[in-house]
Structure 1
């Protein structure tokens, strides 16, 4: 997912580093090897959670370049980091929708992740209809990126009438 989004942003903003996006996407959850996946409900209670994640990631003793990539991802310091963060949220949202189709109760997860995606300044709620609007740090970037390869699956999963909708 990160590579698809990165490639689409790169068509408009040629300064986007696809290799950096891929590296970030591959390592962004590596610190979970030490502590497991901590849910959003717990993370929201800890004000310095991002700092804790960075310290844990540093304990893995990856090369400095990857540690810097992780910081960029975690703190949203680069467009590549924002793209990887978005792709992680979208992947979770899509997975929750697939589980809902299979009969699992993922209502809370779907609502929470739709709201998370919609609140991000670099994503408009229209991404749920297959059109992602991402804002780059590049001032010449106008913000509209169509992700045609995601459109059918995103639309079919996220526009089902029986899936819970975020409250406004």
Structure 2
């Protein structure tokens, strides 16, 4: 693990905010985002476990920490650009993890991207929720141009919730999401 490369994320603002008029000094950094995603993932995992679901919390938290680490090398590339060449960016992100000495987490990163496990769904949902939470904070500070990002993330959260086939799981997650977004 090459900490000296990874710590770059402490100083890289998230591009979407900056492109919508949030000054880099005010915009959340990639590490700020990873921290919030990890906290949200922990809360969702705890609520699911309290309701009797089996969640590998350690896996969820590690996945939360790793999910945006490639950005220590690539910077925060906006979603629109990544969606133009998804296989290319997947390769670049995996190579970035290797260059950071994090190759042992590539399979976990792939799992996150493919959303094939409960843990990966929790982290992806947390990724979107963390963006909504931060976006709402920025809107409250007067940066109304970020509203589009918040609305897009709200739609993505809705899509994930609709995709949950287990009704009890869906109810627990929806309740947690609604409680988080009230605060």
Q: Taking structure 1 as reference, are residues 68 and 12 closer, same or farther at Cα in structure 2, changes over 3 Å only?
A: farther
Written as runs of structure 1 = structure 2, the 5 A alignment for 1:1-168 is: 1-48=40-87, 49-62=89-102, 64=104, 66-104=105-143, 105-120=145-160, 123-124=161-162, 135=164, 142-145=169-172, 146-147=175-176, 151=179, 154-155=181-182
Taking structure 1 as the reference length, what is the TM-score of the superposition?
0.71
- 2:97 and 2:103 in contact (8 A); partners too: no
Q: Taking structure 1 as reference, are residues 99 and 50 closer, same or farther at Cα in structure 2, changes over 3 Å only?
A: same
For structure 2, which runs of at least 5 residues remain unmatched after alignment?
Answer: 1-39
Taking structure 2 as the reference length, what is the TM-score of the superposition?
0.66
CA distance in 1, matches of 2:167, 2:182: 29
Structure (1 or 2) with the greater helix fraction: 2
Alpha-carbon offset, residue 91 of structure 1 = 0.3
Alpha-carbon offset, residue 89 of structure 1 = 0.6
- 1:135 and 1:143 in contact (8 A); partners too: yes
CA distance in 1, matches of 2:52, 2:73: 36
- 2:48 and 2:169 in contact (8 A); partners too: no
* CA displacement 1:22-76 (0-9 Å, x = unmatched): 1111111111111011111212222324444334323333252x22221211111
Q: Taking structure 1 as reference, are residues 147 and 52 closer, same or farther at Cα in structure 2, changes over 3 Å only?
A: same
CA distance in 2, matches of 1:19, 1:116: 25
CA distance in 1, matches of 2:132, 2:45: 18
Higher relative contact order (CA 8 A, sep 6+): 2
CA RMSD, Structure 1 to Structure 2 (Å): 2.5
Runs of 4+ in 1 over 4 A off after TM superposition: 139-142
* Corresponding residue number in structure 2 for 1:162: none
Q: Taking structure 1 as reference, are residues 58 and 78 closer, same or farther at Cα in structure 2, changes over 3 Å only?
A: farther
* Corresponding residue number in structure 2 for 1:127: none
